[in-house]
Amino acid sequence: MKILLSYLGNLKEYIIFSALIIASLLLIFQNDNIQVRFIRVIAVNVIGTIQDGYSFIPNIFELERENKSLRESNIELSKELSLLKESKLENLRLNSMLEFRQRTNYRVATGKIIGKTLIQTRNNITLNIGEKDSVKIGMPVITDRGLVGKIVAVSANYSIAQILLNKDLKISVKVQRSRVDGILAWDGEGKVRMKNVSKSADVKTGDIIITSEYSNTFPSGIPIGYVTTDNTLDNLFKNIEVETFVNFETVEEVFVLKSLSDDERRDLEKKFNEKVK
């Protein structure tokens, strides 16, 4: 108790001063003469003006909360917009594939590419369909635009296909316009070339290249690409570069043609070639 009294004693000047101010304010507010009313009006106007001035100063913490909320909303809207764009693109691709499937004469299995290599000399793609979908080794792989490659490995639920950008894949092809034959192969350096075409052959820039009936792996007439270069390689053959219709960087869905090579024809040709040797 003594400590409290001592503490209050030290503050007695402040306590007395505060009490006098409170008493003065009470007397002012209770007094109703003209001078006091005038002072009240001035005080209210001054306080109001100050408050109005401070109202233009934004609340920093409130703005920070609003900005955070707006950023979160913007992220969510961006995600939704991205999903809508992706759905639209997928819908366009699937509609195009559906139209192709309806007009093709072949039985097909539709697959999605779940893995690919494009920077090696032997590039492949992995599909999410396999033996359970009747996919077998040797079946051609295409899109609605043209040839992709052929199946080289199969498991129950997955399969692997060689693509045109693979040095091991050689295809018998022909020029659609002039019927000139050749062998299509990738050079491993970014160019797809039509080889074994004589210098005098009728091949022009812009000609469409298709699979030929000489192939025992691919049905004839499948589009592959168009000629971009047809100059002379040497005294005997042309240097023919082909741009594929299929863009291997962007392709996502493919068809596997349920078409296999003719075993009888393959065996006969193999026996004949061995006999000639």
217 pLDDT more than 60: yes
The whole-number pLDDT of residue 3 equals 62
> Which of 76-80, 241-245, 264-268 is modeled with the greatest confidence?
241-245
- Please give the structure tokens belonging to residue 22: 């409170």
Burial of 122 (0-12, 13-18, 19+ CB in 10 A): middle
Beta bridge partners of 175: 209
157 and 221 inside one domain: yes
> For residue 73, what pLDDT is reported?
75
Residue 109 CB partners (closer than 8 Å, separation 6+): 129, 133, 134, 135, 255, 256, 258
Domain presence at residue 270: no
On whether the CB atoms of residues 255 and 142 are closer than 8 A, the answer is yes
Q: Is residue 162 part of a domain?
A: yes
Residue 65 lies in a domain: no
Contact 149, 255 (CB under 8 A): no
Looking at the chain, the whole-number percentage of residues with pLDDT higher than 90 is: 39
Rounded CA-CA distance 96/85 in Å is: 17
In this predicted model, what pLDDT tens digit does every residue of 87-118 receive, in sequence order? 666 666 666 666 656 666 678 888 999 999 99
Largest CA distance in the chain: 134
* pLDDT score, position 55: 54
Question: Does residue 164 lie in a domain region?
Answer: yes
At a CB cut-off of 8 Å and minimum separation 6, what does 187 contact?
167, 193
Q: Are 230 and 180 in contact (CB under 8 A)?
A: no
In a domain, 207, yes or no: yes
Q: Is residue 69 in some structural domain?
A: no
Answer yes or no: is pLDDT of 257 > 70: yes
Q: 146-204, pLDDT tens digit by residue? A: 999 999 999 999 999 999 999 999 999 999 999 999 999 999 888 999 999 998 899 99
Q: Is residue 67 part of a domain?
A: no
Q: What is the mean pLDDT of the chain?
A: 79
Higher-pLDDT residue of 84, 175: 175
Distances (CA, A) of 227 to 88, 206, 243: 32, 5, 6
Q: Is residue 87 part of a domain?
A: no
Q: How many CB atoms lie within 10 A of CB 184?
A: 26
Please give the pLDDT value at position 113. Answer: 94
| pLDDT tens by residue, 36-70 | 566 666 665 655 665 555 555 555 666 777 777 77
Q: How many domains does the chain have?
A: 2
- Pairing status of strand 140-142 against strand 147-154: antiparallel
Give the residue numbers spanning the domain of 46.
2-55
